[in-house]
C-alpha cells in the first residue's frame, strides 16, 4: 500500500461516528480544563505579584533565594501536572 493510500485509509477510519464523538469529547475536555487552568494560573500569578516577599518558606529553605517569578513557575508546573489527569479522566 502506498503512502497516499495509507493516509486516505486513516482519514476514512477517523470519520467513523464513534471516533468523531470520542475526538470531540476529548477536545471539549481539553478546552474546559485549559480555560480553567488559564484563569487559575492568572489568579496565582496575581496573588504572587501582590506579595513579592513570601516568607512562610523562609526557614526550611534558607539556602534558596526564590522571588515571585520562581514561585509562579513552580505553581504553573504543579497546575499543569494536575490538569493532565483531569483531562484524561473527563474524556
pLDDT at 66: 63
Q: Each residue of 14-49: pLDDT tens digit?
A: 778 887 788 888 888 888 888 888 888 788 777 777
pLDDT at 84: 76
Q: Provide mean pLDDT across the span 2-25.
A: 83
Q: What is the pTM of this model?
A: 0.51
Question: What one-character DSSP code corresponds to residue 1?
Answer: -
Q: Each residue of 47-74: pLDDT tens digit?
A: 777 765 655 555 565 566 666 677 777 7
Amino acid at each position: 500500500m502506498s503512502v497516499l493510500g495509507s493516509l486516505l485509509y486513516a482519514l476514512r477510519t477517523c470519520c467513523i461516528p464513534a471516533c468523531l464523538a470520542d475526538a470531540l469529547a476529548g477536545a471539549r475536555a481539553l478546552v474546559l480544563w485549559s480555560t480553567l487552568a488559564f484563569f487559575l494560573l492568572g489568579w496565582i500569578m496575581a496573588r504572587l505579584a501582590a506579595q513579592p516577599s513570601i516568607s512562610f518558606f523562609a526557614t526550611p529553605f534558607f539556602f534558596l533565594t526564590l522571588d515571585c517569578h520562581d514561585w509562579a513557575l513552580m505553581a504553573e508546573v504543579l497546575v499543569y501536572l494536575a490538569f493532565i489527569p483531569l483531562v484524561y479522566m473527563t474524556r
